Structure 1
């Protein structure tokens, strides 16, 4: 049987393995002094991590500025100590100038440890320590700034991507609502009279523009030849049974929609004679032309006419 101690060791090993696996999979695992919470989702963890880094950058930038000032002061103090040392050294040399050889040798030996020289050495050590601290601050600022730039860029991209995805989802919902609305449009002949093209032409010769090689063309000004109806389109919106055209005949004041069918008898729907000029015809239907490619756009024409 597994002892309590062995179970604890196993649990500990599993926890370590889990932490190592998470660290391998995550974009950021931290820098000395600053670590994201590995147990939180990345977008939450890195947002807090960014705040840590911003605070750290502020602290270490202030430390660096202070260190620069300390180096400047320590340099001035060191330079003063060097001058005092040089002056004392020169004084000692001048003082021994007239002494005998033995006295000069003894004095030179004492020059190794006189107080001004010891003070200068101490100031040099202090300046070196301050230089080292300034370099440490500078390196920390550089390290934190580089990490912060990458974390901020990652968060910006993540939130931008999330916002874009959200906008795309919203747009898809809007598009679907529009498609459903367009699919529900009434593109039936409603109360309008319907004819084959030949029947329509036979009733009034003013409706005929010309007949060439057995092909009959109706009289009138055409405003759009691609009005759509589900029953004549395929699922992609391509016209597979024919094209719907909108026509106004100045001789009869008749507004019609005509299906020039493929391999089928052409059809004509007579909307009526409410429109009495080409200008009125254009005023009513020109605003709809930009929507002609919409699903079941033929309903827009029928609605506009019925609204007159």
Structure 2
């Protein structure tokens, strides 16, 4: 399932490719046909990402304020889930002509060129949509096809507001209120590893960021939230903000410090591997050097040499180092600026 940085990249792609334009909507698959027909020809007023949710604001006129609560404004709400993806094609430079999503066989974000075998001389206007396309959006300079989403529906202003009110703070949003996270975590008996995957507690954090943020904080994933100090929870938030911002900017999740990347540079791949945007580029940090514990179970910790462990938590696998991540109570020392000894590698 895509993590939050991916959805913010999607929002940026839509903003660059369609914002302010009258767009055509269709549903080749037919499951969104009534809604697409009603919104066809409207103006894309705004694009919004919150956690793992994408909201496309559409209205009949370009001068409408999408956040003013006008009944004329509708929001196409999309949650990609495990199988969903958006594929873009268009003129040169349009949305970088890539695909963003999370096929089940991959983790994180993958980008690749659109299969334009049905197009003459690469003309995107002649690309025939696949039968699985739930929603096609076409603008003046390109198109976007949505396949396999968990949710594709139309919201009104009240439903949009209810969604934002339900979700926890998103580290990539300027209006995020981390106090909601601090309060929820410190009142909960649930382990911090499960809390970080709860989108009502914090929006946009997925399995990779969960595992890596807890390692970087030296926190045991099973310690109850109420046993953590405010400083510990603040530290997790303050670490996630730049980590997700880097992911939104580059399309890659990289949590390792440069001096640790060549230590035990291995990862336990699944059949198709943990894929990230730009894996074919020799200039990027390779995935086997990108993580401290994610998919490194049974391998030595990069810092202390202890074997990394894994366990199921709330239906997802959490990875941790039992030696490095030993902080269990608010009485244990923690500093956002880890000292040199804490980051030293022990043979």
Length-normalised TM-score, structure 2: 0.16
TM-score (norm 1): 0.18
Structure with bigger strand share is 2
| Higher relative contact order, structure no. (Cα contacts within 8 Å, ≥ 6 residues apart) | 2
Specify which structure has the higher proportion of helix.
1
Larger Rg: 1
